[in-house]
A and B are shown apart, each in its own frame.
Chain A
Amino acid sequence: MMRFLLLFSRQGKLRLQKWFTPIPEREKKKIIRDMTTMVLARQPRSCNFLHWKDLKIIYKRYASLYFCLAIENQENELLALEVIHRYVELLDKYFGNVCELDIIFNFEKAYFILDEFLLGGEIQETSKQVVNRCIESSDMLQETMEEYMSKPAF
């Protein structure tokens, strides 16, 4: 199974954190620090895999963002790379040419999309169409824009 997924920027700023097993907050912070330093220190054109403790770390850079996925030892590295890619595709499809800012300002959406795609550290649905249909149909359930815009900002 997958253990966690982290998204961080070139500067080491964390943009998304998903933990598939319960981990104490303090430990999480330590892992985040370890991952950012380890991954950011890698030379370009190195392989995308690292061993860390008893886990395999699979990372890939998309524009300014690093996606870093920890999987258990018997899992397939290449497929994990494609898990990352498929997630990027899903974000891209939803936001239309996704960029880091989309994820910053709509972080909750990034989490919702992830929950449709992965659950409990396993793949739930690999079809891009099905996931997008889910997300779009939930958007349809939302109240109209105008209704919200009429509310005060604070």
Chain B
Amino acid sequence: MPAVSKGDGMRGLAVFISDIRNCKSKEAEIKRINKELANIRSKFKGDKALDGYSKKKYVCKLLFIFLLGHDIDFGHMEAVNLLSSNKYTEKQIGYLFISVLVNSNSELIRLINNAIKNDLSSRNPTFMCLALHCIANVGSREMAEAFASEIPRILVAGDTMDSVKQSAALCLLRLYKTSPDLVLMGEWTSRVVHLLNDQHMGVVTAAISLITCLSQKNPDEFKTCVSLAVSRLSRIVSSASTDLQDYTYYFVPAPWLSCKLLRLLQCYPPPEDGAVKGRLVECLETILNKAQEPPKSKKVQHSNAKNAILFEAISLIIHYDSEPNLLVRACNQLGQFLQHRETNLRYLALESMCTLASSEFSHEAVKTHIETVINALKTERDVSVRQRAADLLYAMCDRSNAKQIVAEMLSYLETADYSIREEMVLKVAILAEKYAVDYSWYVDTILNLIRIAGDYVSEEVWYRVIQIVINRDDVQGYAAKTVFEALQAPACHENMVKVGGYILGEFGNLIAGDPRSSPLVQFNLLHSKFHLCSVPTRALLLSAYIKFINLFPETKATIQEVLRCDSQIRNSDVELQQRAVEYLKLSSIASTDVLATVLEEMPPFPERESSILAKLKKKKGPGAVSVTELEDSKREGGELNGGSDRGPDTSSTPSPSADLLGIRSSAPVGTAPASAGNLLVDVFSEAGPAAPSAAVNDDGFLRFVCKNNGVLFENQLLQIGIKSEYRQNLGRMYLFYGNKTSVQFASFTTSVSCPGELQSHILSLNVQTKQVEPLVEGGAQIQQVLNIECLTDFSDAPLLNIKFRYGGALQNLTLKLPVTINKFFQPTEMSSHDFFQRWKQLSQPQQEAQKIFKANHSMDTEVLKAKLLGLGTALLDNVDPNPENYVCAGVIQTKGQQVGCLLRLEPNAQAQMYRLTLRCSKDSVSRRLCELLAEQF
């Protein structure tokens, strides 16, 4: 037992703790604890009333036992009794127990709240602080209900002691975070802002956390804090280290307050008032200057505190992104830190430079440090520092240095820590794609990636390389040659086999002229890998084989032999067996023409956002990839697809996980001739091969999310208008087909199909219609009615296919019908209280979907309201504490179930951004609604 036992020793407690420490095993410890629990229980149950001291001691023992990790199911009542003791230590232990052990929905909460109420009104500052600490520690909604109106009064009252003010400010902040709706600002806003001027530094330090949080939510109401913050900061920065007495920390004046002030300023744009701005720039310059001064102390605390302010100032400079001079100075300062002997500073400099790299003013300045950063990637001993270096290389990459950076990252990958490989692979893949000018370089890079880190190459990555090769004629021959060479390696990764199989199946003919890679050599090479591969890869290889039969008739006999053998045609895996059987049959009965049509080269893939980028975003979590970065890559990513010169209507939005190669059962519309199932049936049916399929047009689709009527499609020949109405889970859609020409359309037929998941095992939409008249006269309009029933929630929209003859030429058009899940909304009105209660109930992470995005349309209130009403939900007033925000509620009606949905849209007019949050009782609905809506504002 140690000598130290300050204040009041509770000897019994100390003895108990020593006993526990002396236990030789976990079992002995549990035994000792059980003995103690039995003892305490009997004391609490005993007839004799316990005195305050004993009660305190036993409650403290229980607390100790709980903190050791054991469950405690009694003693709460005794702890609550201690709260009303007038002995300070007893009260204090009571509060500690409550703070640690009582959760919000305890039935004791009423008793606890009573005790707190008494202490708050006691006017004894020590008791008041204890009570406030307890509220801040528990921070439950019940406490907010009881005290949210009382605490602001304590905070701004003239006669409140400083220490109580400090506790009150942070207590209020805590309640605001749990229950923003209950903390009403209004009348005391300006008095809270003026706490920034308080004499007592401690009060300012505590209050500024509250003010910062409130400013983030209500920037306009609190904007007077900017000038107050600037003048307070300026006073601190220019003060001598002794001026602030005990608020000077290792010769640095008020580092915590300084950082908090700089953080508060980051909630706002640069001050508009010239004088204020001038003063602030002066402060920032002084902070940058001080970094160059010799240290006033050798202690690490001194340099940490000083640099903490420096980094915070740099964050503010980056946030303003408007002072080129300061940005470049910041960058130079960080450049010095890159070579500092303190690992912490190197780490932070790398991290901070990542954000500087995205500013146009400092991007070039950041790039000058490339060698240092590459060196850090190679030589840092600490993996977390190396990871920051990799992040920074990614951030500073542009067309000028992409080849160097990608090469360095690839070579680092060979020895990289396992925990970061997958992310590195994604980054290399993205950079290679984004900055590829020379596509053979791109192909080399990705194949290298598979060679070096095949296990970490996700589907998205190898899907992408195939998409790009298919869309770029100029790289196909090179790709075929390169994969052929890569496959020669004795042990090559399965992902390489997949890419190889696919590419040779499509473009093997481009290298077949060389006897070293003749068709049979190619086939034997692929087939030598077959037995080592998993089922999906084998399935892919079988498709490659049937493509070989088409490309190289001379391989037909060999391949048929392979397909015919028992291990294929009687394979226990259904998918493999089916492919073998169908391909064998196809190759033996279809004519060369039919074969050539079915197995023709893949059409170009529609342009879309890189699924790799989506994956990286997902991996890093929302917010981790900056918005500018995303937009940037969206812009640049487009080039690679070469989509724009590939005909007009090639856009569709398959989900990022859509199976590109048709390996799984569903095939993307209009592609994947080699896949199993439906298409083969088509070939053998009398209709013969389908007319050249048009890509899906979804231009109009997104415009109809928030409205029901309008023109869905228009070209020189045809206009299609829609009118629709929905009730419960049913809908009716009128389609109007207008012939814009003076010539008759013949064989006019339409059909509606539900793609992908809709078609497979579960039908989620039931769409009924009658066939229209086959002739549409010039200038005439015909009407078609669709009856729609929503069976369960869905994300893919039905497709409308229209075929007709115009002057002898067959026209084929596929449109995405604007049937979206939100059409089945029933608006739900509810009070603020109900809303937040339901919001809280839907708190599982999967139930929430959130997106932060840039405004694409007007942020005008009326426009937004109209859109939100058009969505089908009820727009709720006076629910969100911030009147700028929009809150909606509704229930989606499907045949099988009802899905409750809550929506919150927070516009930030300054940044021209939105944050959209959805919480629904079904996860897939949250995600889908979030996707749909993010495109609407």
Contacts and interface: CB of A to CB of B under 8 A. Distances in A.
Interface of A: 1, 14, 17, 21-22, 29, 43, 45-51, 53-54, 73-74, 76-79, 81-82, 85-86, 94-96, 101-102, 104-109, 111-112, 115, 119-130, 134, 137-139, 141-143, 145, 148-149, 151-154
A108 B384 contact: no
B343 A145 contact: no
A143 to B, nearest CB: 6
Which 9 A/B pairs are nearest by Cβ-Cβ distance?
Answer: A120-B174, A78-B308, A141-B88, A122-B209, A127-B246, A46-B382, A79-B308, A47-B343, A120-B136
Nearest to A74: B263
A125 B169 CA distance: 12
A138 to B, nearest CB: 6
A5 to B, nearest CB: 13
A82 B308 contact: yes
A104 B209 contact: no
B126 A108 contact: no
Contacts of A53: 621
B133 A137 contact: no
Which among A1, A29, A122 has the greatest number of chain B C-beta atoms within 10 A? A122
B120 to A, nearest CB: 15
B689 interface: no
A126 B205 contact: yes
Nearest to A85: B301
Contact of A153 (B11, B63, B100, B177): B11
A119 B170 contact: yes
B806 interface: no
B809 to A, nearest CB: 56
Contacts of A154: 12, 39
Contacts of B265: none
A129 B177 CA distance: 30
Nearest to B13: A105
Interface stretch (B344-352, B865-873, B881-889): B344-352
B554 to A, nearest CB: 57
User: Which residue of A81, A126, A142, A149 has the most chain B CB atoms within 10 A of its CB atom?
Assistant: A126
Contacts of A43: 381-382
B249 A82 contact: yes
Given A73-B623, A126-B202, A142-B89, 18 more contacts: A22-B140, A46-B343, A49-B344, A49-B348, A50-B384, A76-B311, A78-B348, A82-B304, A106-B4, A106-B5, A108-B63, A112-B96, A115-B137, A119-B171, A126-B201, A126-B254, A128-B246, A142-B7
Given A46-B343, A47-B344, A85-B301, A148 B206 contact: no
Nearest to B304: A78
Interface in B203-242: 205-206, 209
B363 to A, nearest CB: 22
B797 interface: no
A148 B343 CA distance: 50
Interface in B777-796: none
Contacts of A104: 17, 21
Contacts of A122: 170, 173, 206, 209
A74 B263 CA distance: 9
Interface in B305-347: 305, 307-308, 311-312, 343-344, 346-347
A108 B382 CA distance: 37
Nearest to A42: B382
A69 to B, nearest CB: 14
Interface string B124-150: 001001001100110110000000000
A85 B21 CA distance: 27
A126 B249 contact: yes
A124 B170 CA distance: 7
B344 A79 contact: no
B69 interface: yes
Contact of A148 (B53, B167, B245, B260): B53
A1 B209 contact: yes
B6 interface: yes
Nearest to B136: A120
B385 A47 contact: yes
Contacts of A45: 343, 381-382
Given A46-B381, A79-B255, A111 B301 contact: no
Interface residues of B, number: 83
Given A45-B343, A78-B307, A151-B54, A126 B96 contact: no
A65 to B, nearest CB: 15
B480 to A, nearest CB: 42
Contacts of B64: 107
Contacts of B308: 76-79, 82
B578 interface: no
B456 interface: no
A138 B39 CA distance: 30
Interface string B58-74: 00100110010100000
A124 B256 CA distance: 10
A46 B93 CA distance: 39
B88 A142 contact: yes
Contact of A120 (B163, B170, B245, B381): B170
29 contacts: A22-B139, A43-B381, A46-B382, A47-B384, A48-B344, A49-B348, A76-B308, A78-B307, A79-B256, A79-B259, A82-B305, A94-B6, A101-B4, A102-B2, A102-B4, A120-B171, A122-B206, A123-B205, A123-B209, A125-B205, A126-B254, A127-B246, A130-B246, A138-B92, A138-B126, A141-B89, A141-B126, A143-B87, A148-B10
Contacts of A148: 8-11, 53
A49 B348 CA distance: 9
B415 interface: no
A126 B244 CA distance: 12
B103 interface: yes
Contact of B4 (A77, A95, A112): A95
Given A45-B381, A50-B384, A129-B246, A105 B92 contact: no
A138 B7 CA distance: 9
Contacts of A137: 126
B921 interface: no
Contact of A123 (B7, B60, B256): B256
Nearest to A112: B92
A86 B247 CA distance: 12
B666 interface: no
B125 to A, nearest CB: 10
Contacts of A138: 88, 92, 126
- Among A47, A137, A148, A149, max chain B CB count under 10 A is at A47
Nearest to A98: B4
Contact of B96 (A111, A120, A125, A127): A111
B476 interface: no
A51 B171 CA distance: 28
A74 B249 CA distance: 22
B605 to A, nearest CB: 34
A43 B260 CA distance: 32
A142 to B, nearest CB: 5
A94 B4 CA distance: 11
Contact of A143 (B89, B132, B301, B344): B89
Given A47-B346, A126-B247, A76 B7 contact: no
A123 B214 CA distance: 17
A123 to B, nearest CB: 5
Contact of A105 (B17, B177, B202, B307): B17
Contacts of B750: none
A95 B7 CA distance: 10
Interface string B610-645: 000000000001010000000000000000000000
A108 B60 contact: yes
Contact of A139 (B6, B171, B247, B343): B6
B743 interface: no
Given A22-B104, A76-B308, A120-B171, A105 B348 contact: no
Contact of A149 (B11, B104, B163, B346): B11
B305 A78 contact: yes
B166 interface: yes
